Amino acid sequence: MRRKISEHEELRDLIEVVMDLGRKPLARFPSGDFELSDSPITVQDIEHATSQVGHFAVDNRAGISRTLHRISAIRNRKGTIIGLTCRVGRAISGSADLLRDLVQDGASLLLIGPPGVGKTTIIRDIARMLANDYNKRVMIVDTSNEIGGDGDIPHAGIGNARRMQVPDSDMQHKVLIEAVENHMPQVIVIDEIGTKLEAMAACTIAQRGIQLVATAHGVTIENLIMNPSLEMLIGGIQSVTLGDEEANRRGVQKSVLERKGPSTFSCGVEIVSKTELRVHRFLEATVDAILSGRFPRVEIRKLNSKGLEETSEATRISSDKKDVVVNGDLLETNDENIGHNQFPSELSLDVAEDSLEDEDLLRLFVYGIPEASAIEGLKKLKMDATVRLTDNISEADAMLAQLSRLKKNSGIQAAAKSHNIPVYVTKTSSLMQITKAIEALKDDFPDGLKNSGSGDDMNILEKVDALEEARIVIEQVVIPKGEAAELLPRPPHIISLQIELLQKYQLQSEKVGKGSDVRLRILPFQLSTNQVKTSSDENVDGNGDPEDLDTFDVYGANGSPHSVDRLPFLPD
């Protein structure tokens, strides 16, 4: 097994080795799984491997002395080990450089991310940075020896930081208090806060003026707010009943959710990937914004391909006279409050990522619904590649909102009405309700949800097929037989091309069907000269009355109507 791994071209990117009794051993790389042997794992193989590592604690984790590797055991009902997950641990110096300014300022950091995204690697480098570069007294409370490695002598990756081991994961909160009372640290580093007792201990430590650096499992700050065990880390959540006057002033219902107290951590960091972080510099402001249905201010930090840092803010808006911040529906200013129905006339958006400004994508503004839930709904319908969420309501093509919150905010209603933005509402923020609303949006925007790609190969075959269908019907049915004929249902921009073809034959048409079943019926009546001149703006039905064709004023993915220079011909 060792020989096959050493010969693999992705050796430096090895993630873990999996050994399950009765199965072939696997090495997991970013590119996929790789079989290490044709022979299945035996009981002797498991026993030999476990004899070479440290003691398995209550959490079924062990390590190798003075290394960062982690070996996790799978046991049967009798307690016998029948499987091993051998995860590779690496100390990567510089992995926390994106957060150096926050660490230097003495801010308490909470790192959030799903498993395997690199939380422990970053927190280990932060401990080294604080101890070596800024000469602070750093104490690591190492739950399962992942930060400092296994054995009594810690790994060199933590620098001059000290490490306290936790004999039992259930005792971690007591070890935290002990570290503060006995060893006078300036910084406490904690890996994986997961229980209410640990969250309470972290709150106690923060109130003693000690800088905290910790990690927690989750994807976004919203996950912490919805987690009853960890909500204490961001100040706690409570339901408050407002008086009639205050509720009317805020434009909300009488019972609202508010932050209970000060946050344990001053900054929050969402780890998107190993090269991208989302920084919430003011965690309390972020929590308040989320609870009130607004978009928080997010600072996006990336490492490009050359290893250089790129920083941008997602929702910052600048004005000539005052500092204005757009957070979803609320426009906050430092000089004066803006009423619910008032919006500044001139605002310029400093967009976070110019590369995302793709006119071919449909831009969706989400209000009162967690952004993560909206993204999950888009992925479920396979629309995440054609729809982009936006924080700027003025550039949105559609709005997805929770009905109860939308009714209470006249400002967001006025903004949607002034920009002629269609609104799709859900009664609750459940995934099923969100998916149904997005499906309705998909039916109403069939053209805008097409991922067109380059302009040269945009539905060429579909255009040719639709025009050939119309030409054959005209020349073989409508003109020679004098009969009306219906065409197949087509997207709006294809129907507009068919209308152009009918104008060349000076024929009338009408639309039939609704939604995705809209199609043309070609009538055997020729247009007069005056009707031909005005047919680009209006359509004439069978009785000769003009009919509004707003549904046919459809634009393609690039925002301009399609045109055809000449008619295609059928092959022989």
Band of pLDDT at residue 24, cut at 50, 70 and 90: very high
pTM of the predicted protein model: 0.55
From CA 293, how far away is CA 280, in angstroms rounded?
16
* Mean pLDDT for the stretch of residues 480-484: 85
Whole-angstrom CA distances from 300 to 10, 98, 278, 490 are 30, 10, 5, 41
pLDDT of residue 23: 95
Q: In this structure, which amino acid lies at residue 307?
A: G
Task: Give the helix/strand (H/E) hosting 258.
Answer: strand 255-259
pLDDT of residue 437: 87
Mention every residue, 6+ apart, whose C-beta is less than 8 A from residue 38: 24
* Mean pLDDT for the stretch of residues 391-407: 84
**pLDDT for residue 558 is more than 60:** no
Q: How far apart are the first and last CA of the chain?
A: 63
Span 126-143, pLDDT tens digits: 999 999 999 999 999 998
Are 1-87 and 97-241+253-315 in the same CATH fold? no
Strands 70-75 and 81-87: antiparallel
Q: How many CB atoms lie within 10 A of CB 439?
A: 15
Q: CATH assignment of 97-241+253-315, given 1.10.10, 3.40.50, 2.60.120, 3.20.20?
A: 3.40.50
Fold of the 465-522 domain: Ribosomal Protein S8; Chain: A, domain 1 (3.30.1370)
Mention every residue, 6+ apart, whose C-beta is less than 8 A from residue 48: none
Span 526-546, pLDDT tens digits: 654 444 444 444 443 444 443
From CA 121, how far away is CA 417, in angstroms rounded?
48
pLDDT of residue 449: 55
**pLDDT for residue 357 is more than 50:** no
Helix (H, G, I), strand (E, B) or coil at 365: strand
Which long-range contacts link 164-172 to residues 24+ away (Cβ below 8 Å)?
Answer: 164/139, 164/140, 166/141, 166/142, 167/57, 168/57, 168/58, 169/57, 169/58, 169/59, 169/143, 169/144, 170/58, 172/141, 172/143, 172/197, 172/198, 172/201
Band of pLDDT at residue 314, cut at 50, 70 and 90: low
Fold of the 1-87 domain: Beta-Lactamase (3.30.450)
Average pLDDT, the chain: 78
pLDDT of residue 351: 31
Q: CATH assignment of 362-443, given 3.50.50.60, 3.50.30.30, 3.40.50.2300, 3.40.250.10?
A: 3.40.50.2300
From CA 160, how far away is CA 158, in angstroms rounded?
6
pLDDT of residue 275: 86
Helix (H, G, I), strand (E, B) or coil at 46: helix
Domains in the chain: boundaries: 1-87, 97-241+253-315, 362-443, 465-522
Span 37-77, pLDDT tens digits: 999 999 999 999 999 888 888 889 898 888 899 999 999 99
Span 165-208, pLDDT tens digits: 988 888 888 999 999 999 999 999 998 898 889 999 999 898 88
Contact 424, 445 (CB under 8 A): no
Contact 265, 240 (CB under 8 A): no
Q: For residue 233, which of 102, 108, 369 has the smallest C-alpha distance?
A: 108
Q: In this structure, which amino acid lies at residue 177?
A: I
Strands 299-303 and 323-327: unpaired
From CA 289, how far away is CA 361, in angstroms rounded?
27
